[in-house]
Amino acid sequence: MTAATPSTAGATNAGGAPADETPTIHILWINAGLSCDGDSVALTAAMQPSIEQIALGDLPGLPKIAVHWPLIDFECGPVGGADTFIEWFFKGERGEIDPFVLVVEGSIPNESIKPEGYWCGFGDNPETGQPITTSEWIDRLAPKALAVVAIGTCATYGGIHAMAGNPTGAMGVPDYLGWDWKSHAGIPIVCVPGCPIQPDNFAETLTYLLYQAAGSAPMIPLDDKLRPSWLFGATVHEGCDRAGYYEQGEFATTYDSPKCLVKLGCWGPVVKCNVPKRGWMNGIGGCPNVGGICIACTMPGFPDKFMPFMDEPPGAKLSSKASGAYGAVVRRLRSLTINTVDKEPKWRHTGDKITTGYRPPW
Amino acid sequence: MAPKTKAAGDGSGLMEMAWDPITRIVGSLGIHTKIDFKQKRVAECYSTSSVFRGYSVFMRGKDPRDAHFITSRICGICGDNHATCSVYAQNMAYGVKPPPLGEWIINLGESAEYMFDHNIFQENLVGVDYCEKMVKETNPGVLELAERTEAPHAAEHGYRTIADIMRSLNPLEGEFYREALQVSRYTREMFCLMEGRHVHPSTLYPGGVGTIASVQLFTDYLSRLMRYVEFMKRVVPLHDDLFDFFYEALPGYEEVGRRRVLLGCWGALNDPEYCDFTYANMTDWGRRMFVTPGVIVDGKLVTNDLTKINLGIRILLGSSYYEDWEGQEQFVTHDPLGNPVDPRHPWNQHTIPAPQKRNFDDKYSWVMSPRWFDGKDHLALDTGGGPIARLWSTALSGLVDTGYVKATGHSVVINLPRTMTKPETTFEWKIPRWSNALERNRARTYFQAYTAAVALHFAEKALEEVRAGRTQTWEKFEVPDESIGVGFTEAVRGVLSHHMVIRDGKIANYHPYPPTPWNASTRDTYGTPGPYEDAVQNTPIFEENSPENFKGIDIMRAVRSFDPCLPCGVHMYVGGGKTVQKMHMPTGLSGLGG
């Protein structure tokens, strides 16, 4: 996934931002879906690259950006007055900031199922004094956005808040806008699932889009569920360091065992996610690799298709039985080999004779 | 958008102003005010939250063992507190006691959460309210004074003047701001070592944890913890200098965000030697927590008994978008000790959403009004963002003594051991004169040091277990057909309770009460305002700007001192019929010179 070298060979400033012909790219961040802000918070943990590296243009060829992000924004002035945060969103709607990327965090509730009121709002309508619903913001801003990015499983597919029995009719951004939706620049909705997102997964996707906007990377490669294919192409199990136990038919019967957790609720074999391979942050932590069953939090079927989480997945019964049978044979053969390779060759010893096979000339 | 000028339509001569959404907090909160610019005072305040998700609704009928995975998603910065609280409630309901090592691991994870969360909030969210750039735009006179004021503890933290401290807090450009971001990362690494991932843990279960307890695990944690201990030896004096300066520079600043001392703390960090998660013994093991529970009214400890605390919780409506559940079925009429349980108690709550238009004279928020009933009054307790209530409660009870931390009855003494470049250091948090914005912030820094100190104790206890070969971290359990449970802990921002009822092996009722519903609550059925409303409503205005350029920094400092955690919105109408439009990009992430 290497990006092409930027074609702007022009002067760069000390911050490493490209020459002035590249416009500032604004990022409008709406955290007011049905969300917990966990994806915003997770992004502050990213190190590859970090938010300060992105914001200060620390990577070569990144365009200048201005992020309007509720979590850490400086602006805090009153509505309509000095230093108003929400004004950027009205500017986006009026076409006064171009280009901008719209980031949506949280699921989109269905506002049409009730006579009045709002499930979630972001800022107020100056005409009515009532909150502007999040879905209305999406209607206003999506047509003008360079790209729409859904961050977290709620915004991508509905997530926890779209669980069976929920009162809000919650859904993901593609459900709301349409799975075939494309921005005026021809970019499909970019979905980075995870509950929350793995920090570097999102930082990397955002960086890719900024390179693409600067003209130095081709169209972002997405799979049929609109996920970046280089991040979500493999399953949890394919990157899990406990898969060796699975192959040997050794399954944990208690949660504090170092062995494979598939019989205790781990869905890793059928879940697209890179966490065990990548670690949670800085290579530390994770899920099944460190004793936490995979509850499939990156998947469109999450959470309902995986509950109760602590029960064995039905599909695991058959496959673990199979691996239990041949795994025992594999384990026996391996233990024989281990016995052999666990000993040093016999020519390593003290005494006055060399037995390595070398013939001394004396 | 062209907001119209709006004087309050009540002939009072007040100005209506609103902040929407409030940035540098978690989630969505709106603060709507009426400001009296003649008296330089906030006359009225309404707190509103504009997001409803309905956990208590969609959790009904689900498997109880799913509860901690689901409730973690309530909050994206303290979800692990919910997961922890939920496994506490499940342990009680299933009658399981985790192995001691499992509890030490949870304590180490939760300690790392405090260390991470308070740090990022204090330096990267709240700190910006006190940074050079902000002070220059709101109180230029104060900045001038700060330039001329030497920092009393410069030797400890390295910043010569107060203005140097303020500069170091400038978003992205400030050296200390960037350092704090890095600290927020390695503290999350500490968290992930114990609980798998942040903020929604992967290795927490009822009955214990899935974390593999090895020498490596605790070594990896301790080596980071010592870095943090050294960091706190600089940060405590740094914030003492900064906050003390504000009292000096702006006489009367103690009134900003001040309210009556009405603090709640539900206790945190259990001692596995005593905690068996039974309701019957909750009073005793609650008092053995490493943060002591307590209700404090006007500086006096009303109770530190978790059973009493539990029975006093009431959920009132009044200004929120719900139908009342009066007359609906009561799930729990008596607690396991035979005490009667009130119909307005979370065990008996029914959540019936009723979305409607916002009307500040009637219903205006998705937040309910939790109150604590002392037998006479429904008290609108606050948590002060968490730390001030935790330290106050722990100090008054005088029960905690681990060597690293000791409660004295009037203070909390924190002993930090020698680190790479700094000697052994002792800090003492003394009960302050006020419950106000600056003291909430100060307590946050002290509590970071407190948590680092108790974490040293937990790491030692955990290593003792490992060295003795007691490495089991999880205990088997069965889910009963009928049961109830309650979990009490301190989320980062304060009190957290989870009340669960199980029927036919499924969740019949589940009501989590995090701190923000207490702090951000609305006027209740008796007309009593919630803590933000109450604290902002009396806040004097020290900002030097005219109404046209007014930012409301004092109001923002008051609100942020509570460390809010919800979605928000406020409007400002400027006098004289003109809309102020400033075209600049002072956002924290605009890039330098962007």
Extents of the domains making up chain B: 6-324+358-562
What pLDDT shows up at residue A20?
53
pLDDT in tens, B286-333: 999 999 999 999 999 999 999 999 999 999 999 999 999 999 999 999
Q: How far apart are CA B454 and CA B392, in angstroms?
A: 17
By the CB < 8 Å criterion, does A121 face chain B? Answer: yes
- Cβ contact B50:A120 at 8 Å: yes
Reported confidence tier of residue B574, pLDDT bands at 50, 70, 90:
very low
By the CB < 8 Å criterion, does B215 face chain A? Answer: no
By the CB < 8 Å criterion, does A203 face chain B? Answer: no
Nearest to B587 among A75, A81, A116 (CB): A75
Which pair of tokens denotes residue B432?
């302050």
Question: A89: left (phi > 0), else alpha (psi -120 to 50), else beta?
Answer: alpha
Task: Say which residue, B569 or A243, is predicted with more confidence.
Answer: A243
Q: How far apart are CA B343 and CA B315, in angstroms?
A: 9
DSSP string, B192-253: HHHHSSSSS-SSEETTEE-----HHHHHHHHHHHHHHHHHHHHHHHHHHHHHHHHHHHSTTG
Query: What part of B 217-256 touches A (C-beta under 8 Å)?
Result: 220
By the CB < 8 Å criterion, does A59 face chain B? Answer: no
Give the count of beta carbons closer than 10 Å to the beta carbon of residue B9.
8
Q: Average pLDDT for residues A199-222, to the nearest whole number?
A: 97
Q: HSE on the CB side for B216, CA within 13 Å?
A: 5
What pLDDT shows up at residue A13?
39
Q: How far apart are CA A325 and CA A39, in angstroms?
A: 42
Question: B527: left (phi > 0), else alpha (psi -120 to 50), else beta?
Answer: left
Residue B272: cis peptide before it, omega within 30 degrees of 0: no
Q: How far apart are CA B6 and CA B348, in angstroms?
A: 43
What is the percent of chain B with per-residue pLDDT over 70, rounded to a whole number? 93
- Angle, CA of A12, A15 and A16, to the nearest 5°: 45
Which pair of tokens denotes residue B442?
């100060």
Q: How far apart are CA B499 and CA B485, in angstroms?
A: 6
Most confident of A70-74, A121-125, B89-93: B89-93
User: Can you identify the CATH homologous superfamily of domain B6-324+358-562?
Assistant: Cytochrome-c3 Hydrogenase, chain B (1.10.645.10)
What is the percent of chain A with per-residue pLDDT over 90, rounded to a whole number? 86
Burial tier of B476 (Cβ tally within 10 Å: 0-12, 13-18, 19+): exposed
Residue in B with minimal Cα distance to A253: B476
Query: What part of B 403-462 touches A (C-beta under 8 Å)?
Result: none
Q: Average pLDDT for residues A331-343, to the nearest whole number?
A: 94
| H and E: helices and strands count for chain B | 17, 17
Which pair of tokens denotes residue B337?
């000790």
- Cβ contact B412:B405 at 8 Å: yes
Residue to test with chain B: of A72, A112, A137, A298, most B Cβ within 10 A: A72
pLDDT in tens, B120-130: 999 999 999 99
Task: Say which residue, A82 or A104, is predicted with more confidence.
Answer: A104
Q: Is B275 annotated as a binding residue?
A: no
Which pair of tokens denotes residue A4?
């092409």
Q: Does A286 have pLDDT greater than 80?
A: yes
- Angle, CA of B390, B45 and B15, to the nearest 5°: 145
Per the DSSP assignment, residues forming a β-bridge with A260 are A251
Cβ neighbours of A70 in B, within 8 Å? 21, 23-24
pLDDT in tens, A32-55: 999 999 999 999 999 999 999 999
| CA atoms B8, B40, B383, A37: torsion sign | positive
- Cβ contact B475:B97 at 8 Å: yes
- Cβ contact A132:A123 at 8 Å: yes
CB contact under 8 A, B357 and A117: yes
For chain B, what's the residue count?
A: 594
Cβ neighbours of B585 in A, within 8 Å? 66
Q: Does B570 have pLDDT greater than 60?
A: no
Residue A129 Cα, gap to closest chain B Cα (Å): 8
Q: Does A202 have pLDDT greater than 90?
A: yes
pLDDT in tens, A123-182: 999 899 999 999 999 999 999 999 999 999 999 999 999 999 999 999 999 999 999 999
pLDDT in tens, B323-339: 999 999 999 999 999 99
Q: How far apart are CA B91 and CA B285, in angstroms?
A: 14
β-strands B425-430, B262-265 pairing: unpaired
- Cβ contact A222:A190 at 8 Å: yes
- Angle, CA of A342, B214 and A41, to the nearest 5°: 125
β-strands A100-105, A147-151 pairing: parallel
Reported confidence tier of residue B108, pLDDT bands at 50, 70, 90:
very high
- Cβ contact B371:B344 at 8 Å: no
DSSP string, B339-384: -B--TTSGGG----B------TTS--BS--EEEEE-SS-EE--B-T
- Cβ contact B404:B86 at 8 Å: no
SS3 A204: helix
What pLDDT shows up at residue B20?
82
Nearest to B589 among A51, A163, A282 (CB): A51
- Angle, CA of A272, A276 and A277, to the nearest 5°: 90
Q: Average pLDDT for residues B158-177, to the nearest whole number?
A: 97
pLDDT in tens, B510-534: 999 999 899 999 999 999 999 999 9
Q: Average pLDDT for residues B260-267, to the nearest whole number?
A: 98
Nearest to B26 by CA among B564, B580, B461, B425: B564
What pLDDT shows up at residue A138?
98
SS (H, E, C) B256-304: CCCECCEEEECCECCCCCCCCCCCCCHHHHHHCCCECCEEEECCEEEEC
- Cβ contact A252:A259 at 8 Å: yes
Q: Is B45 annotated as a binding residue?
A: no
Residue labelled with tokens 């509570």: B562
Q: How far apart are CA B166 and CA B176, in angstroms?
A: 9
- Cβ contact B372:B266 at 8 Å: no
CB contact burial A265-292 (16+ within 10 A = b; e otherwise): bbbbbbbbbbbbebbbbbebbbbbbbbb
SS3 A17: coil
Task: Give, as one character, the DSSP assignment of residue B581.
Answer: -
Q: Does A272 have pLDDT greater than 70?
A: yes
What pLDDT shows up at residue B584?
31
Mean pLDDT estimate for chain B: 93
Reported confidence tier of residue A21, pLDDT bands at 50, 70, 90:
low
β-strands A190-192, B204-205 pairing: unpaired
B435: enclosing H helix or E strand: none
Task: Give, as one character, the DSSP assignment of residue A33.
Answer: S
Q: Does B428 have pLDDT greater than 90?
A: yes
Q: How far apart are CA A222 and CA A216, in angstroms?
A: 18
What pLDDT shows up at residue B6?
64
What pLDDT shows up at residue A16?
42
What pLDDT shows up at residue A17?
44
Q: Average pLDDT for residues B355-359, to the nearest whole number?
A: 96
What pLDDT shows up at residue B12?
75
CATH 3.40.1190.20 fits A25-228, yes or no: no
SS3 B306: helix
What pLDDT shows up at residue A10?
36
Residue B251: cis peptide before it, omega within 30 degrees of 0: no
Nearest to A80 by CA among B44, B414, B3: B3
Q: Does B583 have pLDDT greater than 70?
A: no
Which pair of tokens denotes residue A65?
């950006």
β-strands A65-68, A25-30 pairing: parallel
What pLDDT shows up at residue B566?
57
pLDDT in tens, B445-502: 999 999 999 999 999 999 999 999 999 999 999 999 999 999 999 999 999 999 999 9
Extents of the domains making up chain A: 25-228, 234-341
What pLDDT shows up at residue B580?
30
Q: How far apart are CA B400 and CA B411, in angstroms?
A: 11
Q: Average pLDDT for residues A278-292, to the nearest whole number?
A: 97
Cβ neighbours of A307 in B, within 8 Å? 62-63, 66
Q: At A34, give phi and psi (nearest 5°).
A: -80, 95
What pLDDT shows up at residue A2?
31
What pLDDT shows up at residue B437?
98
What is the percent of chain A with per-residue pLDDT over 70, rounded to a whole number? 94
What pLDDT shows up at residue B8?
67
Cβ neighbours of B581 in A, within 8 Å? 87
What pLDDT shows up at residue B436?
98
pLDDT in tens, B12-43: 779 999 998 899 998 888 999 999 999 999 99
Q: How far apart are CA A300 and CA A232, in angstroms?
A: 13
CATH 4.10.480.10 fits A234-341, yes or no: yes
What pLDDT shows up at residue B13?
78
Q: How far apart are CA A306 and CA B63, in angstroms?
A: 12
Q: Does B4 have pLDDT greater than 60?
A: no
pLDDT in tens, B55-67: 999 999 999 999 9
Query: What part of B 152-181 touches A (C-beta under 8 Å)?
Result: 171-172, 178, 181
